Structure 1
Amino acid sequence: MFKTTTVLATMTALMAAPAFAGSLAQPEPEPNIAPVAVPAPASPNWTGFFAGAEIGYGNFDLTPGPSDDGVIGGAILGYDYDIGNGFVVGGGLDYDFADNNNVDEVFRAKLRGGYKIGNGLAYATGGYTMANTATAGTDDGYVVGGGYEHMIAPNMSIGGEVLYHDYGSFNNSGVDLDGTTAQVRASFRF
């Protein structure tokens, strides 16, 4: 009896094994669902006119002579063109008043070119500059530098810019004038 019971139990276990293992039918393939690409946020279009203000720090050196620094700030006006593929070119005018013994006013006419980084624009700039002083008159030179501007709204940007100014021998006096400015800027774009 022991043998019959053992044989019956073994046969029952062997017959039940496929039921515990799953169905003998072919499994249905899982549906092929392609991943959905999330579009990258569009960077803003920089094409158009802008006007605004800037304020910051300026240090102007006379050689030979003293160095002086102080607040510098004024108005900005310009135009940018978004040429695509991340690049932007433009031009602008700056007119600043300076709290500085060496320079009273600074005018600049600059070109700029840059690359868009998300909602921002990193750029290099350069062009013409003119300085007005209370004691030595007015003379011109060149300006070079760079900056970063960030769109905070569709028609509003803020940024910063650092510029080096070189006027050479100011009014052929034999005294060289150069300076560096670092300013924050805010622009309304239209």
Structure 2
Amino acid sequence: MKRILVSSSILAMVGGAAFAGGYTAPAAAPVVTPAPMVAAPVAFDWTGAYAGAQVGYGKTNGDLDANGAVGGVHAGYLKDFGGFVGGGELAYNAANVDDGDNGKLKNMTDLKLIGGVPYNRSLFYGALGASYMKADLAGQDHSDTSPMVGIGMKYAVTDQWTVGGELDYRDGHNFDGTDSDVNATTLNLTTSFKF
């Protein structure tokens, strides 16, 4: 009997110790929240008419060798074809590029074709066209149409406002039938409103 009593006591103690903590349910698997989706940048639609103003720096070389401020207005139209943007622009720049007694560049009116590649809200482009320039050469007024090339970049700040910069070169070789060369380079900052 002693043995049964001792064995029962040992079993009771071991069993009681095993159940002392009670039943514990398995822990639930952690809930994994997916990372939020970040929207890709929305490409800007460059199609439409626009107008604006520009201001910058001009330099002439050749028979006029001077530099000074330029500025004016522009208007144009662009068509967005997806991976390519094309269009045209008319720009007028008044100039304060004075070479003293040699003369001065008075103004430039540019008509140019524009073609470029859009990237998100930016447009990188080249320009090709003609520039009608007026200059004073040794006290006499002259004007001529010269070929021009340019490169530029526009950035859409909002759906209607863009800012940018453009570098243009005009080749005024044998200007207005004279033996004078009036080559003009301009670097302008631009702002435009898209209609």
TM range, smaller chain? 0.7 to 0.9
How high is the sequence identity, in percent, across the aligned residues?
31
Q: Choose 1 or 2 for highest CA Rg.
A: 2
* Count of residues in correspondence between the two structures: 183
CA RMSD of aligned residues (A): 3.4
- Select 1:99's aligned residue among 79, 96, 110: 96
Once the two structures are TM-superposed, the CA of residue 38 in structure 1 deviates from its matched residue by 4.1
Once the two structures are TM-superposed, the CA of residue 133 in structure 1 deviates from its matched residue by 1.4
- Select 1:120's aligned residue among 110, 119, 122: 122
Q: Distance in 2 between matches of 1:34 and 1:158?
A: 38
Once the two structures are TM-superposed, the CA of residue 36 in structure 1 deviates from its matched residue by 7.6
Matching residue's letter, 1:42: V
Once the two structures are TM-superposed, the CA of residue 116 in structure 1 deviates from its matched residue by 1.1
User: Structure 2: which 5+ residue stretches go unaligned?
Assistant: 1-25, 99-103
Q: Which residue of 2 aligns with 1:17?
A: none
Contact in 1 for aligned 2:130/2:146 (Cα 8 Å): yes
Q: CA deviation digits over 1:69-98, x for unaligned, max 9?
A: 10000000000100113x211110001100
Q: Distance in 1 between matches of 2:120 and 2:44?
A: 8
- TM-score calculated relative to the size of structure 1: 0.78
Q: Distance in 1 between matches of 2:46 and 2:72?
A: 22
SS in 2 for 1:84: coil
Runs of 4+ in 1 over 3 A off after TM superposition: 33-39
After TM superposition, the structure 1 stretch with the greater mean CA deviation from structure 2, 35-44 or 107-116, is: 35-44
- TM-score calculated relative to the size of structure 2: 0.77
Q: Which residue of 1 aligns with 2:48?
A: 48
Contact in 2 for aligned 1:136/1:171 (Cα 8 Å): no
After TM superposition, the structure 1 stretch with the greater mean CA deviation from structure 2, 171-180 or 158-167, is: 171-180
Matching residue's letter, 2:90: L
